A and B are shown apart, each in its own frame.
Chain A
Amino acid sequence: MKSVSVEEAVEIIPDGATLMIGGFMGVGTPERLIDELVHQGKRNLTVIANDTAVPRQGIGKLVDAGLVSRTIASHIGLNPETQRQMIAGKMAVDLVPQGTLIERIRAGGFGLGGVLTPTGVGTVVEEGKQKIDVNGKTYLLETALRAEFALIAAFLADYSGNLSYALTARNFNPVIAMAADTTIVTAEHIVPVGLIAPDHVVTPAPLVHYLVTNG
């Protein structure tokens, strides 16, 4: 684990990168990394996340700045700007059931090729997908997702990179921490090693490549 400034962290990310970003309607999203992505004007990004929040908040800021060319998400209904860019053909949007999205990411991080889920069978979601019967029940084969970068918002990070989360800000964060080549973390509090008890560490330090220092 290396500690870096927010500017240094974002300099690592090239234009055209695929990013998994934590957060659920902006709660648990690393806002400082988002602001710096906008500041450095990283373009043509692919974003994999639960949703695109709302304009001027969280991932919505990347959308507002026109930096996202493709989104894989479960819900964009509360961000009219995402819908506008999708309809205008400026952004490709793949909509995925939320439970399927998180399992595809989990599979990507856990060394699996995909998962079998009953969700989406007999709906438009099954189009183009392999159907597999197991013990008399039909499932869709949903393939694994990975990204070049995971952008994580933790509540506590210790000096070694162990992470814990708070309340409903956990959501996608610990799952995406497993599924990217490079993991970049912001934390509300950076604390001495040992302050997060071993039983309370959710994301183990070896998964964290860069910890953004707190100003």
Chain B
Amino acid sequence: MKAMDAQSIIAKRIAQELRSGMLVNLGIGIPTMVANYVPSEIKIFFQSENGLIGTGPIPEEGMGHRLLTDAGGRPVTALPGACTFDSAMSFGLIRGGHVDITVLGALQVDAHGLLANWMIPGKMVPGMGGAMDLVTGAKRVIVAMQHTAKGKPKIVNKCTLPLTSVRPVDLVVSELAVIGFPEGRATLLERGPGVPVEQVIAGTEAKLALPDQIPEMQL
């Protein structure tokens, strides 16, 4: 197999969690790339929280419309069957538990699955946007992130940055590992392509539970 870059590994693995008919919200960055790896026979309703279900790929040059954008303000297309709505409806869908999966980035995730992804005090104060509602309300929360930042673990014992929600995430997918939180405990479920368990442990501050079988991601 040709070696894949970290972002593609993460996006491709998360795409395997999606099932036909699901309503899915993808955050900005690596999460957006997940849509590129969904097989064509699987039909997903992608939501943009600015008021769209049925978000399609970036339009061809000259085919965009200035009133049809994603939550980052970039032009998108709308797939057949798409619908639009206001922000109260959009966040009713999110907070009300109607979104099956949300995929977001992270600054830190702790040993119990708590997430910090919206600010670094004194450095970066962009505002939480929709992140707190998404993590609080979606049926399943998946974090897409590189395993470490500048060599420092992002999966920590306890988040030192402000939390996004007290609701723990369900799954963390990095280029090194798939980590779940059964019974509230960080557990190594899968290894990245060619990655030994020791490498995952070395890049993780939180203590990982290690099941007997830890298969490699099947990409």
Contact = CB atoms under 8 A, between A and B. Distances in A.
Given A167-B65, A171-B50, A102 B88 contact: yes
B165 A27 contact: no
A175 B126 contact: no
A76 B51 CA distance: 19
B48 interface: yes
B127 interface: yes
A123 interface: yes
B78 interface: yes
Interface in A79-126: 83, 86, 95, 97-100, 102-103, 106, 117-125
B128 interface: yes
Contact of B86 (A26, A76, A97, A175): A175
Contacts of B162: 123-124
Contacts of A25: 50, 69, 71-73
A135 interface: no
Contacts of A103: 88, 91
B85 interface: yes
Interface stretch (B13-21, B129-137, B174-182): B129-137
A73 B48 CA distance: 18
B34 to A, nearest CB: 20
Contact of A168 (B48, B137, B163, B164): B48
Contacts of A120: 132, 136
A98 B69 contact: no
A118 B87 contact: no
Interface in A17-31: 24-28
What's the dominant secondary structure at chain B's contact region? loop
A24 B87 contact: yes
A118 B129 contact: no
B73 A27 contact: yes
A32 B68 CA distance: 20
Contact of B67 (A28, A53, A95, A99): A28
Contacts of B129: 51, 74-75, 77, 97-98
Chain B interface category by residue count: 35 or more
B85 A118 contact: no
Given A123-B164, A167-B52, A26 B73 contact: yes
Interface string B59-71: 0000001111101
B125 A98 contact: no
Choose among B50, B163, B164 the residue with the greatest number of A CB atoms under 10 Å from its CB.
Answer: B50
A169 interface: yes
A75 B87 contact: no
A186 interface: no
B4 interface: no
A118 B136 contact: yes
Contacts of B50: 24-25, 27, 168, 171
A32 to B, nearest CB: 15
Contacts of A75: 126-129
A102 B87 contact: yes
A54 B74 CA distance: 12
A120 B66 CA distance: 33
B48 to A, nearest CB: 7
Nearest to B162: A124
A51 B78 CA distance: 23
B84 interface: yes
A73 B127 contact: yes
Contacts of B126: 75-78, 83
B166 A122 contact: yes
8 contacts: A77-B129, A98-B130, A117-B95, A123-B132, A123-B164, A124-B162, A171-B86, A172-B86
Given A27-B67, A98-B133, A121-B166, 11 more contacts: A25-B69, A25-B72, A27-B69, A53-B73, A99-B133, A102-B88, A121-B136, A123-B166, A170-B86, A171-B87, A202-B86
Q: 6 nearest interchain CB pairs?
A: A77-B126, A25-B73, A99-B91, A122-B166, A99-B133, A75-B127
